[in-house]
Amino acid sequence: MASTLLRKSKDLRRVCAIVVKSVHIDTLNVLIRAESTSVPTRDSSNVDVREQSTSAPTKFQDSTGCNCPFEHIFENLDYGISKVRYAGQTSSSERKSTFQEEMDLEKETCSFSQDEKVESGIKQRADEIARKFSSDAYKNAKPFSEIPGFPTLPILGGIHNFFPGGVLYGLTWREQKWLMQKKYGNIVKETPFPGFTRINIFDPDDAELIFRTEGKWPLRDSFFFMQKHFNILHNKGVHGLATAQEAEWHKLRQGVSKYIVPPQVIGEYCRGVQMVARDFVTRLGKVKDSEGLIENVIPHIKNFSFEAIALVCFNTRLGAFSDDRSNQENIDFIQSVDTILECSYLELKQIPLFRYYKTKTYRRYENAMQCTKRICLKHIAIARERHRAKIVAGEAGVEQEVYMGLITNLITNDNLSEEEVFIIMHDIFTGGVDTTSHMLSFVLYLLAKHPNYQEQVREEILGELKNKDLLDIEDVRALKLVRAFVKETLRLYAVAPANSRNLKQDLVLSGYLVPKGSVVLIHNDWISLNEGYVEDAEKFMPERWLRHATSKINHPFAYLPFGFGPRSCLGRRMAELEVYLAIIELLKKYKLSQTNEVIKIGEGIVNALVPPLKIRLTPR
C-alpha cells in the first residue's frame, strides 16, 4: 500500500513537472480534443492492413435492391414511437416529425421491401428500448463511479496515462481506443485531463438509445474552440452549425436544411456537379504521364470537392483545375479553407493558450477566417445584387432559385443575418471539402484495388445510363452497385471516426447509470469493423448492401458514417452525389489500376488517406 502511494506520488510529481515544462505537447493535447482525430490502423506502424487479401472478390449478388440495415429500423417507426416513452421530448408528434425526416432520408438512399421479418425485428427493437426505459432498468443500474476505465489520479485525472510510462503513451488515438475497448469492454470512462470526463461507447445498443433520446435539439458541444473564439471576437458572437447549440443551432439548421437536404433539391445540383466531375476527369487526363500514371491523385480530388461545393454555394466556378494562377482571390480562398482545417486540427493538439493571447496557430487561423469571410461577404453582395436586379425586372421567383446557388436562398431568408449566412457558408466549406475528398480517395483506391468490382460497377453504369449524356438524380439513384460500393467504402474507412453527444437525460448505458449532460463518444469506426455486429467485418464486400446478401450487418446502429438524427451530417447527400458522379465520369472514360499496395491513414480531424495515392488511368 505504502509503496503504491509512493509510486503514485512519484508519478504525480513527474507528471506535474512535465506539464509545467510543456507548452506544446502533443500528447497532452490529444486530451484537449473532446473527440474527432483518429487513426484507423491496426498495427503500430500506422499502415492499414485491411484489404490486403489478393483473393478475387465475389460477384455482386443482386442488383434489385439494397440491404441497408437502417431501413429496418426506419421502416416502421410509428411502432417504436408509440411504444416508447422518450423523456425530454414533449409530444409524440414532435418525435414523429424528427424520425419521419430520418425515415424519409433513409428511404431515399436505400430501396427496400417490407416483409414480416423486418416488422418483427422492429417490434423487438422497440421492446428492447422500452425495457431500457423501464424504472427497473434505472433501479438496477450500477453507479457511474463504477464504469471501468484507465486509472486516474486526484486533481490530474488520467493525464499521466499519456506520458512516458503511461498505458497510452505513444499510441495513436485509434490505437488508444482499440486498447481501451479490449481492456475494459463496451463502456469506458476517461478523464483525459482535469475536470473533463467522457464516456466511450462501443455498443450499438447504447448508441441507439443515445440517439433515440436526444430530442429535437441534440447537444454536441465539444468541438472547434478556436472557431467559437473567433466568432465571439469577429462575428458578433454568431456561431455556426458546428458550434451553436439548442435554439440557436435549430434556427440555423432549419434555415439551411431545406436548401441542401431534400432529394429534389439535391437533384437540382446534379448536372452542375456532373460538369465539375467531368472537368475533374479531364484534368486527370492532362496530369497523367505518358504511361497513364498519376503519382498522387489526392490534390486533384481535393480540387474537385472544392470546386463542387463552390458551385453549390456560390453558383460559380473557382477554377480549381486551371493552370491559370492569375485569380489570386480564388487561390487565397482555397488556401484559407486549407489553413482553417489545418489549424482546427492543430488546436486539438495544443494547449488552448489562444484564449489568453494570440498564438501562432490562432493568428494563422484568424487570418484565414478573415480571408474566407471577406470572400464569402463578396459573394453575398453579388447574390444580393443579382436578386435585387431580378426583383426590379419582375423576375424574382420565376427562375428556380436553387440554380442560383445556396447563397441566394440564404440571403433571401429574412431570418438569417449576414453573420449567420457567412458562418453557414464557412461550415459547409470546412465540413464538406475535406471529408468528401477523403471519401473519394478511399473509393478510388478500392476501385483500383478490386478490378472485378470495378468492372461490375462500370457495367452497371454503362448498362443503366446507356449513352445518356447529362444525368438527372433519378439516373444516379438507379445505380445500386455504385451506391453499395460507396457505402462499403465508408464502412471500412469511416471518414468521421466517432459521433459525440452530451446526454439530454440520465440513461442506463451498458448497465451503468450515466447522468444527463455527460459527454459520450460513440466509436462508430470500431463498431462498424466489429465481427459481433458485421459479418466478415474485415472484408471489403459491397454486395453486403444488396438485398439477399449473405453477409449481413446485424445491427441498425452499427453503421453511422454521417451521424444520426436531427443533428446528422447536413451535407450527406451532397457528398454522396459528388462521389457518385466522379465515379461515373471516371469509369466511363478510364480503367483505374496500379494503386498503392497498402495505404496509411493519417491522424487528423477526420480519417484521411495519407498521400500519395498513386493511380494508373488507362483509356477505355
Interface with ligand HEM includes 255 (CB under 6 A)?
Answer: no
d(CA 3, CA 9): 10
- 585's grid cell: 465520369
Shortest distance in whole angstroms from residue 614 CB to ligand HEM: 22
d(CA 242, CA 246): 12
Q: Of 575, 599, 601, 608, which lies in the binding site for ligand HEM, with binding defined by CB under 6 A?
A: 575
Query: Please, what is the end-to-end C-alpha distance for the chain in angstroms?
Result: 73
Interface with ligand HEM includes 574 (CB under 6 A)?
Answer: yes
Shortest distance in whole angstroms from residue 520 CB to ligand HEM: 11
Q: Of 220, 228, 555, 591, which lies in the binding site for ligand HEM, with binding defined by CB under 6 A?
A: 220
Interface with ligand HEM includes 36 (CB under 6 A)?
Answer: no
**Closer Cβ to ligand HEM, 152 or 222, answer by number:** 222
Contact in structure between 540 and 488 (CB atoms under 8 Å): yes
Interface with ligand HEM includes 561 (CB under 6 A)?
Answer: yes
Shortest distance in whole angstroms from residue 333 CB to ligand HEM: 16
DSSP letters spanning 1-40: -HHHHHHHHHHHHHHHHHHHH-SS-HHHHHHH--S--B--
Shortest distance in whole angstroms from residue 495 CB to ligand HEM: 4
Identify which range of 23-31, 169-177, 428-436, 610-618 contacts ligand HEM by CB under 6 A.
428-436
Interface with ligand HEM includes 427 (CB under 6 A)?
Answer: yes
Question: Residue 564: enclosing H or E segment and its boundaries?
Answer: none
As a residue count, the chain comes to 620
Is 66 annotated to bind ligand? no
Instruction: Measure CA 420 to chain center.
Output: 22
**Total residues at the site for ligand HEM (CB under 6 A)?**
25
Q: Identify the residue whose cell numbers are 465539375.
A: 276
Rg of the Cα atoms in the chain: 24
Shortest distance in whole angstroms from residue 78 CB to ligand HEM: 23
What are the φ/ψ torsions at residue 497 (nearest 5 degrees)? -75, -25
Q: SS in 3 state form for 354-400?
A: HHCCCCHHHHHHHHHHHHHHHHHHHHHHHHHHHHHHHHHCCCCCCCC
Shortest distance in whole angstroms from residue 560 CB to ligand HEM: 7
Q: Of 160, 239, 487, 567, which lies in the binding site for ligand HEM, with binding defined by CB under 6 A?
A: 567
Geometric angle at alpha carbon 501, from 25 and 261, rounded to 5°:
110
Residue 587: half-sphere exposure toward Cβ, Cα within 13 Å: 24
Interface with ligand HEM includes 241 (CB under 6 A)?
Answer: yes
Per-residue x/- mask for ligand HEM, residues 576 to 595, rule CB under 6 A? --------------------
Identify which range of 109-117, 179-187, 549-557, 564-572 contacts ligand HEM by CB under 6 A.
564-572
Shortest distance in whole angstroms from residue 253 CB to ligand HEM: 5
Span 435-474, contacts to ligand HEM by CB under 6 A: 435-436, 439
**Closer Cβ to ligand HEM, 248 or 538, answer by number:** 248
**Closer Cβ to ligand HEM, 549 or 570, answer by number:** 570
Q: Of 40, 319, 432, 604, which lies in the binding site for ligand HEM, with binding defined by CB under 6 A?
A: 432
Span 489-508, contacts to ligand HEM by CB under 6 A: 495-496, 499
* Torsion angle defined by CA atoms of residues 584, 590, 594 and 595, in that order, rounded to the nearest 10 degrees: -30
Identify which range of 373-381, 396-404, 560-568, 586-594 contacts ligand HEM by CB under 6 A.
560-568
Task: Name, in order, each residue with C-beta under 8 angstroms of 612's C-beta and a sequence gap of 6 or more.
Answer: 295, 296, 298, 596
**Closer Cβ to ligand HEM, 141 or 606, answer by number:** 606
Q: Of 50, 72, 177, 253, which lies in the binding site for ligand HEM, with binding defined by CB under 6 A?
A: 253
- Burial (CB < 10 A; 0-12, 13-18, 19+), residue 434, is buried
Interface with ligand HEM includes 525 (CB under 6 A)?
Answer: no
Shortest distance in whole angstroms from residue 496 CB to ligand HEM: 4
Q: What single letter denotes the amino acid at residue 603?
A: E
Identify which range of 179-187, 346-354, 387-395, 565-573 contacts ligand HEM by CB under 6 A.
565-573
Task: Name, in order, each residue with C-beta under 8 angstroms of 30's C-beta and a sequence gap of 6 or more.
Answer: 37, 162, 173, 176, 192, 348, 349
**Closer Cβ to ligand HEM, 210 or 513, answer by number:** 210
Shortest distance in whole angstroms from residue 565 CB to ligand HEM: 6
d(CA 444, CA 156): 45
Q: Of 559, 564, 580, 590, which lies in the binding site for ligand HEM, with binding defined by CB under 6 A?
A: 564
Interface with ligand HEM includes 425 (CB under 6 A)?
Answer: no
Instruction: Measure CA 309 to chain center.
Output: 16
DSSP state of 261: S
Interface with ligand HEM includes 562 (CB under 6 A)?
Answer: yes
In b/e form, how buried is each residue of 477-516, taking b as 16+ CB within 10 angstroms? bbbbbbbbbbbbbbbbbbbbbbbbbbbbebbbbbebbbee
Shortest distance in whole angstroms from residue 74 CB to ligand HEM: 15
Interface with ligand HEM includes 301 (CB under 6 A)?
Answer: no
Interface with ligand HEM includes 604 (CB under 6 A)?
Answer: no
Interface with ligand HEM includes 33 (CB under 6 A)?
Answer: no
d(CA 309, CA 315): 9
Shortest distance in whole angstroms from residue 436 CB to ligand HEM: 5
d(CA 562, CA 579): 15
d(CA 200, CA 190): 7
Binding site for heme, by residue number, is: 569
In the complex, the residues that contact ligand HEM under the rule CB under 6 A are 220, 241-242, 253, 427-428, 431-432, 435-436, 439, 495-496, 499, 561-564, 567-571, 574-575
Binding site, by residue number, is: 569
